[in-house]
Amino acid sequence: MGETIWKLFVFSKEGKTDETYQMSRKNAVPRVGERNRGHTRLGCNARLSVVKQQTGNSWVVSHFVEEHNHGLTTPSRVHLLRSHRKVSATKKALAQQFSEANIPTCQQVRLMEIESGGPSSMGCTEKDIRNHVSLLRQEQMDSDNRMLRCFWADSELRRSYAFFGDVVVFDTTYNTNKYSMVFSPFVGVNHHGQTIIFGCELLSDETIESFVWLFSKFLEAMPNQAALVVIITDQDAAISKAISMLLPFTLHRFCLWHILNKFSEKFNAMLYNEQYHRLVNIIKQSKSPEKFEQRWIEIMKTTNLGSNKWLINMYEIRNSCTEYMVDIRWYPSVAPT
């Protein structure tokens, strides 16, 4: 079900350009510096159709039209065609490093051309590189040219993740006052029980878009992405949404420390002073889920806590909560020497 059994390949000038659009372009006053791009659709019938055989995994050509109704691009200009141009992952990484070093885009392109063996072998044009650099700036700067977000991880942090990245704690509770940005480290625990850092970042806001950008950069930077089994965060809807989008197979748990810190906000002063330590004792000292359920029901019956909507909600998601630092097993076969 859903298997592809037929494919059709057509030329880039296949079909007709919308006549209404062409007339509007013909009568329009050209802007300064605008060039005439000509017709991009000329009704070219050149095509190739292939069908998958019912037996085996082979494909057979079912229809082929070789003739074009226009001149073809010369071999010396083939590299300029849009279908032949792509900014590779390597060149994107180089462009980012060059931009961070304040190397002008024109010089970046010259260096890439030399490294590739000439413009025709680079795989993209200077305009493609400029467009990519512009997108990088838009991702990281706002309308006032102030930095929006930044992620950083060096080789040592990436190496630590390769060994201990099965459980990651992501914390957004650190705010910088001077620049009004949120400092959000990715941390874990090594085989000595010590807290280690996998990466650091600064965010100007805590929106879904920012967290999606951050988690995508984190995954790009870290080796062995499949190692991430559990991620622990605070109860932030934007973070949860971003994790569900980019880490659908990673177990997401809420940090108990953050939840306990909210008790003083959710209870009145008298109730908090009377019941806080009892609740913490039930949550942390119950030796089994059954014992926790029994003690929880008892305190709800004997106090006024049973009507607290926030506490009811926390109880409903109790399986999603965990201690801030969890017990991470150490596998000697993969641990660093």
Phi, psi of 93, deg, nearest 5: -65, -40
pLDDT, position 91:
81
Which ranges in the chain belong to alpha helices (H)?
19-27, 89-100, 105-116, 126-140, 155-164, 208-221, 237-246, 256-261, 263-266, 269-285, 289-302, 309-316
Token representation of residue 139: 């991702």
- Residue pair 21/52 in contact (Cβ under 8 Å)? The answer is no
pLDDT score of 40: 65
How far CA 61 is from CA of 10, 68, 108, 168, in Å, comes to 14, 19, 43, 51
3-state secondary structure 161-179: HHHHCCEEEECCCEEECCC
Q: Which residues of the chain have pLDDT under 70?
A: 1-2, 16-41, 74-80, 83, 136-146, 173-179, 225-226, 321-337
pLDDT of residue 115: 80
Q: Tell me the C-alpha to C-alpha distance, in Å, between residue 301 and each of 66, 71, 281, 289, 315.
A: 82, 85, 17, 18, 15
Spatial CB neighbours of 330, under 8 Å, sequence gap ≥ 6: 191
pLDDT (0 to 100) of residue 10: 82
Query: What DSSP string runs through 214-259?
Result: HHHHHHHHSS-GGG--EEEE-S-HHHHHHHHHH-TTSEEEEEHHHH
Read off the pLDDT of residues 113-154 as tens digits, 9 standing for 90 and up: 888 888 777 888 888 888 877 776 666 665 566 677 888 898
| Edge-first strand listing for the sheet containing 6-10 | 6-10, 47-52, 59-65
Give residue-wise pLDDT tens across range 290-327.
Answer: 888 888 888 888 887 878 888 888 888 877 766 544 33
First vs last C-alpha separation in the chain = 49
What integer pLDDT is reported at residue 178 of this predicted model? Answer: 66
Report the Cα 23 to chain-centroid distance in Å. Answer: 42
Tokens of 313: 């909600």
Distance CA(310)–CA(296), nearest Å, equals: 15
Question: What is the 8-class DSSP label of residue 334?
Answer: T
Q: Token pair 């109790």 is at which residue?
A: 318
At 298 the pLDDT is 87
Locus of tokens 């029901």? 297
**Residue 64, CB half-sphere, CA atoms under 13 Å: how many?**
6
Instruction: Quote the CA–CA distance of 287 and 296 in Å, as a whole number.
Output: 13
Question: Considering the entire predicted model, what is its pTM?
Answer: 0.54
